[in-house]
Amino acid sequence: MARRARSTHELRQKLAERAARPADLEPLLEDLTDRAWLDDRRFAREYARTRAGRRYGRYRIAQELRRKGVAAEHIAEALAEVFPGERDERVLVRKRIEKRLKGQRPPYPERLLRSLYASLLRAGFPSAIIRDELLGRARGRLPDELALDEDERA
């Protein structure tokens, strides 16, 4: 059916590009769903597991699944399964920090810490977890703009 798994929304769009009669799409999608060949819940779980394995955070994964047209309830279930607690995200953040700072000793250049912080935010991790892990690794020395939470900034 495809080279990779797709959500119902994605498959609908892909087939609509090639369909001679768009009216035929819905019965086809219903048939695929009835046969369990198309399942957004399963797609969300597999996608979240794969992306978490590549060390992406829950926010990024949720955003990508929303873009793929997956229902909010399926996204929530998938993320709860992949990230049962905050500790799991914290471990991923720590691993990404260790990989990036490998072979370097503190004090780290501010530019490197800012770059690492921005990279982790883009990967979908919460800023509080990133700051905590960076503080631990940088021995309490963070650039001023990273030391404050967004709510604490004037």
Say if residue 78 is in the same domain as residue 91: no
Say if residue 30 is in the same domain as residue 91: no
Residue 68: domain span: 8-82
Domain stops at, among 62, 82, 102: 82
Q: Is residue 98 part of a domain?
A: yes
Q: Is residue 2 part of a domain?
A: no
In the chain, the number of structural domains is 2
The tens-digit pLDDT sequence of the chain (154 residues) is: 557 789 999 999 988 888 778 788 888 889 888 888 899 999 999 999 999 999 899 999 999 999 999 999 999 999 999 998 877 889 999 999 999 999 888 888 989 999 999 999 999 999 999 999 998 888 766 776 676 555 443 3
Say if residue 29 is in the same domain as residue 60: yes
- Cis preceding-peptide flag for 107 (omega within 30 of 0): yes
The pLDDT assigned to 2 comes to 55
The pLDDT assigned to 107 comes to 86
Say if residue 15 is in the same domain as residue 61: yes
Say if residue 37 is in the same domain as residue 103: no
Query: Which residue, among 125, 115, 119, 55, has the nearest Cα to 86 in the 3D structure?
Result: 125
Q: Is residue 51 part of a domain?
A: yes
Return the CA Rg of the chain. Answer: 20
Say if residue 78 is in the same domain as residue 12: yes
Give 68-86 pLDDT, tens digit per residue: 999 999 999 999 999 988 7
